Amino acid sequence: MQAKISALEEELTVARASVTGLNALQAAVKQEEFVLGKALQGSLRSRLLEKARACPPVRRSVGHKPKTTMVVEVEAVLRAVVQFVAMTEVACSHYRKQALSVRTVKLPDRASMYHAMRMNPSMVEAVQSRVFKRQDGSKTTRILMEHCTTEEGKIVYVVSRGVETATVASRQSEEYDPRRKCFVNPLVKSSVAVTELPDDLLVSSGALTWKESRSSKWQLEDLGDLVSGKVSVVVPISVVQGDGGDVTALLL
């Protein structure tokens, strides 16, 4: 009887070990499930951090409008994009342009981009606002905030967006006092209907897009989801004179 009990205990121990091993294997497989998606996520994150360190170019003239977006690009196969979409749970649309496959993910605000790229607080701090000092002693600030310049020359910043309303900020005039190194008029926030936003701001420009490489059409075999392409992330930005303290404060 004792021998049977010992045998049963041994079988139970083996069974438990098998279940534990299976669980560990399943966990390992799950971790590796999105290996290409994670690699793409890491590449995009590194590229964004790298581009954020680069000083914005000098404006060629007063009438020249500052840039409104910063673009991050990396090469990636379609499978990496599919995995990226699955692991980040973002909404993705698919269409064809000139016979080439295109995948698009809308990134309507900074939070959605930070989430998609899995950025920690220190990374967010490094990219969302940065002050650059030029050789002539002047300062320029790049801020991850959507804006547009109206026909009247007024700059409108989008602080946040809702389904029906948006919070924006603007000045009475864009006159800059070089002696005091600040704008003459302060930024004033207001709430407006989304439909009342300037045309350039009706839809957020923030997006991630993968476009199939044109050279893929010359392949002799069907590569399926291993077809190559380019991922482009459009990040809305504002480039302002000085340390941009008043615009940066809108991020809080």
Q: Is the pLDDT of residue 155 over 50?
A: yes
Enter the pTM of the model: 0.80
Q: What is the pLDDT of residue 1?
A: 56
Domain range list for the chain: 1-32, 35-251
Q: Is 115 exposed, middle or buried (0-12, 13-18, 19+ CB in 10 A)?
A: middle
Q: What is the pLDDT of residue 22?
A: 45
SS3 track for 155-187: EEEEEEECCCEEEEEECCCCCEECCCCEECCCC
Q: How far apart are CA 220 and CA 23, in angstroms?
A: 42
Q: What is the pLDDT of residue 219?
A: 61
Q: What is the pLDDT of residue 25?
A: 42
Q: How far apart are CA 93 and CA 90, in angstroms?
A: 10
Model pLDDT for residues 125-144, shown as the tens digit of each residue: 999 999 999 888 888 999 99
